[in-house]
Structure 1
Amino acid sequence: MPRSSDNLWDLAVAEVQRKENSEDDTEASADSERSVFFIGNKNGGKTTIILRCIDRQSFGAVEVDAAFPKDIAHFWELGGGISLTDLINIPITIENIRTFSIVLVLDLSKPSELWHTIEKLLPVTKHHIDKIIGDIGKSNSKAANQIVQNVWRSFPNNHPDRQLIDPFPLPLLIIGSKYDIFQDFESEKRKIICKTLRFVSHFYGASLLFTSKSETHKGVMRLFVNHLAFGQDKSKLVSVDHNKPLVIPAGSDSFSQIGSPPASESELRQVHVRTPIELWKKIYERYFPPKKTDDIKDVKDPAKDPQYAERDVDTMRAQKDQELEQYKRNADKSWKSMSLGSHT
């Protein structure tokens, strides 16, 4: 309650402090409820990875102590590969953005689709997140700045690449799936793919790991996902050998360790680009030219996407489409008849 001696300025300061404390309390209570959004290649293994990370009976909840409420994680998945990017804005909201994380799943068995998938999904997701952070900043600059600063926690002040990277605005984990197929590729191909994904992950301030059906890989993957979903301790494992599955927590790599793109100096001089990431793209696509596939082709009408095929519904839709076409033809005849009659 305000004292009679308080002036208008004192009351205003007290009100601002009260709101900030209230927001801090809300954020603290929200830490027990997080969201993880899986995006990536169509049929790249997103659903399988989610099911491997959680017990089907746990419903995405982990009980830390019987005396306290359960930590809850909401797992979202964007189906359809890159064809339904318009749906990315649905799960990411101004209410949950402070406890939201992104997992990009890339199918290692399809190297010609990797860069296209990255290019289609990450910028769209980043644009939506940046817009939300901007909206928050209009009314609460402190909260917006806190979200931005959180992504830098993995990069100490003395990290050599702090001025060279462009961290994703939310925690980002990149998973290379189907390593069991990838490990049979030629050594040189594996090396190029590994170096490229290391560069992309480090540039975006993301963690990177490869996984397969192996129980060992499954355990490592759960460590990374559980850190995002339940705030558990980060994995301290690090593996950068292209002959083994990559395991690289955010902030543990560097451009000097990754090295230059896989091209000669003369080839690099012939490539005209504006940014380092464009350079890596050009070099990568020389080895793995992008292919036109059903996954890459944008599907403007989700009803025509085979992923959502439903016989009874599709039969009824086909019938309605025929009726609509017949209506259009009849209407066209009517308008022509009216036009002729008017002309006469």
Structure 2
Amino acid sequence: MRGISPSCRLRKGSVAGEHSLGEGGGKVFGLCPRKPMGRRSGWGYVLCEEPVAPVRHPLQRGRPSPRPRPRRWSWGNLRSKSVVSRGVGSLGTPRNGPKTSRAPAVPAPGSCRPQRLPPGAAGDTLWDLAIAEVEKRGNTDDDEEHVEVWEKSMLFMGNKNGGKTTIILRCLEREETPKPTLALEYTFGRRARRHNAPKDITHFWELGGGTSLLELIQIPITSNNLNSFAVVLVLDLSKPNELWTTMEKLLQVTRHHVNKILTKLEKTNPEVATEIKQRIQNTLQKDHPDYELIDPFPVPLLIIGSKYDIFHEFDSEMRKIISKTLRFVSHYYGASLVFTGKSEALLLKAHVLINHLAFGYDKSKSLSVDHSKPLFIPAGLDSLSQIGPPPASDSDIGKMRAKTPLELWKKVFEKVFPPKVFCDLQGTKDPAQDSQYAEYEVDVMRAQKKQELEHYKRNASKSWKEMDFGSDEVL
């Protein structure tokens, strides 16, 4: 330590003699006791520039003791707040003390009273140090580049009882028992891209009831979130006769609503509308051979074929027709395609593509197009040449009149799997009678209002019967 040697014995309340302060050339002539600061503060010392006479210790009575008990210097005794020197640039690093170098305060000549140091100086209380640390971190955060928080929205729709809720819970890593979706349900998920970074948020919407509640699609899709919106279509592979009808209705209504919003954005916010259209055009790279042959969906689309464990038991030719048809549809719309089931490995594959759309994680570059295995095809990695023609003979294709390739594939698929006429609302329980939605106060009030309604109907019917309409009255 520069300045006072730790081996020097300093006496409380007596002249210490002349001690060199190091390279600065200053000298210590005497020491004065310092009053305790705080509840746990001990007695300290003040170095003075001029010789001072022995002083009485504040706790002593009577005459001052000429030879107080000597005490070795330590950081607790010589506090940097009280140490005063002139001509010394730094007192060095004290033993077991903070490794900082701060300029000490300088008292008036001939004064032994310590001067207050600026905030943040060594020797401050714990609260002062904590405040200084928080201010330092705040200044550092202001200097750093602002990190943008990722916020997206996703709509899950598809066959009734197709496994949408199970996929969402698995993606959010929630150990919950899936319950049937009544209409339109909402949840959210958060992820941090790196340590100590703000968490990104994704809003998950789930449309229940299959195709019976199509008008609810317009609720989650708005002009405010269209630029960060994605659609996940879950198709039940175990019901091929309902597959095309469900897919066609849901995608048509969604596309019509999105195009309506884009038309409004062209007038109100043309920059956002242009950005969305440019993203649609960039679904495939311009050097892709099918760039001019596809019709990309206006928002990112992911098609998930669920219940693969049941689908795998189908006839090989049936599985091939369904797989090729879904490959064409997903490629035609610029979408990703994945088959999933109960196994953890298949759920993990769907999880990868969902995380890519929801939180911007890296998209997997793996590819699986073998019809005898679960399909996994990220958007843009398939082609019409690899998919091949529709699974039908040339004579049958010649007899089919289709205006677009999508319509041709539809007719070929429905010839093998005729569309089944079904009602999504059949077997739907009345939510008022469902025990999982039971609320005592609401149920009591509902029963009371029902009784009042029945009483009103009886009184109204009696009043109508008692009325006498004369023949001369004009109705």
TM, length-normalised to structure 1: 0.81
Which aligned pairs between 1:55-204 and structure 2 lie closer than 5 A? 55-56=173-174, 60-204=189-333
Structure 1 residue 259 corresponds to structure 2 residue 388: yes
Larger RCO (CA within 8 A; separation ≥ 6): 1
Distance 1:184 1:245 in 2: 13
State the secondary structure of the residue aligned to 1:36.
Answer: strand
Q: Tell me the amino acid that sits aligned with residue 342 of structure 1.
A: E
- Picking from 224, 240, 252, the partner of 2:353 is 224
Distance 1:41 1:328 in 2: 47
Distance 1:136 1:153 in 2: 20
Distance 2:463 2:455 in 1: 12
Greater shift in the superposed pair: 141-150 or 49-58: 49-58
Number of aligned residues: 311
- Picking from 413, 430, 433, the partner of 1:310 is 433
The answer to whether the 8 Å contact 1:80/1:307 transfers is: no
The answer to whether the 8 Å contact 1:178/1:211 transfers is: yes
| Corresponding residue of 1:206 | 335
Greater shift in the superposed pair: 139-148 or 98-107: 139-148
Distance 1:90 1:286 in 2: 35
The answer to whether the 8 Å contact 2:188/2:204 transfers is: no
| Corresponding residue of 2:150 | 32
Distance 1:267 1:93 in 2: 43
| Corresponding residue of 1:49 | 167
- Picking from 320, 330, 335, the partner of 2:461 is 330
Which aligned pairs between 1:259-298 and structure 2 lie closer than 5 A? 259-295=388-424
Distance 2:398 2:294 in 1: 22
For 1:284-327, what per-residue CA distance to the aligned partner results, in whole angstroms no more than 9, with x for missing partners? 111111112232x6x8xxxx9427353576x8599589849957
Going from structure 1 to structure 2, the CA distance change for 1:317 and 1:42 (only over 3 Å counts) comes to farther
| Corresponding residue of 1:20 | none
Going from structure 1 to structure 2, the CA distance change for 1:323 and 1:233 (only over 3 Å counts) comes to same
For 1:164-188, what per-residue CA distance to the aligned partner results, in whole angstroms no more than 9, with x for missing partners? 1110000000000000000000000
Going from structure 1 to structure 2, the CA distance change for 1:212 and 1:325 (only over 3 Å counts) comes to farther
Distance 1:317 1:136 in 2: 48
Greater per-residue helix proportion:
1
Going from structure 1 to structure 2, the CA distance change for 1:185 and 1:70 (only over 3 Å counts) comes to same
Distance 1:275 1:244 in 2: 29
TM, length-normalised to structure 2: 0.60
CA offset at residue 151 of structure 1? 2.8
CA offset at residue 336 of structure 1? 9.6
CA offset at residue 261 of structure 1? 1.1
C-alpha root-mean-square deviation of aligned residues, in Å? Answer: 3.2
Q: Where do 5+ consecutive residues of structure 1 fail to align?
A: 1-27
Higher radius of gyration, 1 or 2: 2
Distance 2:401 2:267 in 1: 39
